Amino acid sequence: MNKMRKIQVFDTTLRDGEQTPGVSLCTEEKLELAKQLSRLGVDIIEAGFPFSSKGEFDACKAIADEVKGVTIAALSRANQKEIDLCKDVLKGAERSRIHIFVATSEVHLKYKLQKSKEEVLKMAVDSIKHARGHFDEIQFSPEDGGSGRTDPEFLHQIVEAAIDAGADVVNIPDTVGYQTTQTFYDLIKGIKENVPNADKAVISVHCHDDLGMAVANTLAGIKAGADQIETTINGLGERAGNAAMEEVVMALKTRKDYYDADTRVDTRQIYRTSRLVSKLTGIKIQAHKSVVGDNAFSHESGIHQDGILKEKSTYEIMTPDSIGLSSNTLALGKHSGRHAFKNKLDELGFNNLTEEQFQKAFDKFKDLAIRKKNLTDRDIEAIVENRIFVYPQVYQWLDFQVQSGNKSDAMAMVGLKKDNSKVIREAACGKGPVDAIYHTINRLVGETYKLLDYNIKSVTGGTDALGEVVVRLQKDEITATGRGISPDILEASGKAYIDAINKVISKRSELENGYDDGGEDFGKTCRKG
């Protein structure tokens, strides 16, 4: 009997996932997400592209220094200056990996790099040799090498040269999502069979979803012999995104009989991780999305409902519990103490909170228990997820009053605390209560922000459900996502707006304290498939 293959999961949510249009994470959010990815059990976390900005450098370094139990990777072009910067970033990691890339397709060689194949081959080899001895692992990616637009002979040649130069992992990216399952299978199989030293390195795959086949192509790559997958949570990424980690992992787990492969991912952490990414990025999860969508375990048809009641396996090939989805009612109330609350958090998997984070969550729980009679596990998860982030907060939400009706403009009065001491208050009118609250906040902070997106949903059912609001704001060239929760949706709206403003201020400070990047537009040049 063959031993089941263990597939390494290389998570690039913090790098390629953050390249999703409109998504921008601050250092504290990236760090918290990295810690959750470690709890999830991914093998490698790609922390980011350190050379792109001072903020990105700081975020990558914080992750390398603080997140343990997982390999931390940093992206670099085939450039010695960038590789040297990655040395500084990753020196605090328990296990470090440099991820070096250079484009190899005809179109990239001609129009982007304006270099010959020989020049690119030398760049790859020289950069890998320069990195040797400074990192625990070296990964090389021929950008656009897996899309069918790179000459197969040149692809085999550069893969062989990269391994000879010292690459431990060679990643094959379908950068533009062009491949089909059969053509991508053939491409990976061709590398395994035609590159003489292919067995001396891990072959990885990175698929984009432009034609909706990223997950299928990733699985085809595994079937062809790839031992590492590059994925993102919820399939985030450039354009149509990447292969969704949760879908690939659950496909392997559910169809072990076919793939004869599995990962070390703790699937019970999938749902929480998916929700956390959605909260941080402001990107909603479509209801019918596989594995983590709201409808993934819902059954509308009477025939389906009857079958589920008799035997769950009639219409469910995996259980909600297997991904950590729970709807249990929390038997705690306003008289419950810290010990009972701590036990519930441990049960839900929140056993890594600092004392400060725990106290903030407990205070919010006590407040909510007075305002909402029946609390569920989802309520508690929402409380904790919205209280664990600690980043500079110039403004704190205090209170509000609103007067509104359908015959006149709304008027709002809002109180904020500035710099953790000074209380400021103001009033303004608007076309509705939320608009009035936002006009008032703009007056209080002395700036006008452009509201790019506003989303509202209930955390749980019932008329007293927690409302969750996610907004995306823009000020000059800076965008930020803010979140707020409350049984009062107007209060949640105000909290989300303040949350986003604080992040804009934090990012503005990061940019003002940035370092010289050589004059290049790295926001464009670091885009790697």
Q: What is the pLDDT of residues 165-194, one digit of tens each?
A: 999 999 999 999 999 999 999 999 999 999
Residue pair 162/140 in contact (Cβ under 8 Å)? The answer is yes
Give the pair of three-digit tokens for residue 494: 């105000």
Above 60 in pLDDT, residue 282?
A: yes
One-letter amino acid for residue 17 of the chain = G
- The overall average pLDDT reported for the chain is 88
Residue 260, sorted as left (phi over 0), alpha (psi -120 to 50) or beta, turns out to be left
The pLDDT tens digits for 112-130 are: 999 999 999 999 999 999 9
Query: Is 473:479 a contact under the CB 8 Å cutoff?
Result: yes
| Cβ pair 31, 63 in contact under 8 A | yes
From CA 112, how far away is CA 270, in angstroms rounded?
A: 38
Q: What is the SS3 assignment for 475?
A: strand
* pTM more than 0.75: yes
Cβ(205)–Cβ(226) below 8 Å = yes
Annotate 202-223 with b (16+ C-beta within 10 A) or e (fewer): bbbbbbbbbeebbbbbbbbbbb
Q: Which two tokens stand for residue 203?
A: 């072959």
Q: Which fold has domain 5-281?
A: TIM Barrel (3.20.20)
Coil, strand, or helix at residue 71?
strand
For residue 373, pLDDT beyond 70: no
The predicted-structure confidence for 70-121, as pLDDT tens digits, reads as follows 999 999 999 999 999 999 999 999 999 999 999 999 999 999 999 999 999 9
Place of tokens 């103001």: 426
**What token pair was written down for 95?**
């296990």
Distances in whole angstroms, Cα of residue 225 to Cα of each of 38, 157, 220, 438, 439: 25, 19, 9, 54, 57
Instruction: Determine the 3-state secondary structure of 150 from DSSP.
Output: coil
User: Are the C-beta atoms of 426 and 414 separated by less than 8 Å?
Assistant: yes
State the DSSP string of 208-252: B-TTS-HHHHHHHHHHTT--EEEEBGGG--STT-B-BHHHHHHHH
Distance, in Å, from the CA atom of 496 to the CA atom of 512, rounded to the nearest integer, reads: 25
* C-beta of residue 267 within 8 angstroms of C-beta of residue 250: yes
Name every residue whose Cβ is closer than 8 Å to that of residue 513 and which is 6 or more positions away in sequence. Answer: 54
Helix/strand/coil for 279 = helix
What CATH class has 395-512? Answer: alpha beta
Q: For residues 276 and 270, give the distance between their C-alpha atoms in angstroms, rounded to a whole number.
A: 10
In whole angstroms, what is the distance from residue 316 CA to residue 25 CA?
35
How do 395-405 and 71-77 pair as beta strands?
unpaired
Average pLDDT for 412-425? 94
**Phi and psi angles of residue 489, each rounded to the nearest 5 degrees, phi first:** -70, -25
Q: Which amino acid is at 137?
A: E
Quote the CA–CA distance of 202 and 524 in Å, as a whole number. Answer: 29
Average confidence (pLDDT) over 325-353: 73
Least confident of 188-197, 359-368, 416-425, 496-505: 359-368
Name the pLDDT band for 527 (thresholds 50, 70, 90): very low
Contact 16, 242 (CB under 8 A): yes
pLDDT above 90 (res 341): no
List the chain domain ranges.
Answer: 5-281, 338-375, 395-512
Question: What DSSP letter does each residue of 312-352 carry, written as one string?
Answer: GGGT-SS-GGGGT---PBP---TT--HHHHHHHHHHHT---
